[in-house]
Structure 1
Amino acid sequence: MFGLIGNIKAVPGQRDALLAILLENAGRMPGCLAYVVAEDTADAEGIWITEVWDSAASHKASLSIAAVRDAIDRAKPIIAGFGQFIETRPRGGHGLAAIAPA
Structure 2
Amino acid sequence: MPVALTLAALAAGYLLGRTRPWDHLDTWVWRRIAFGGTWTQSRWQTYLTFAVHTVVRPRKTWNAWRHRHDAPKERPAPPLVRNLTTPNADDDVETT
TM-score (norm 1): 0.24
Structure (1 or 2) with the larger CA radius of gyration: 2
Structure with higher helix content: 2
More RCO (CA 8 Å, sep 6+): 1
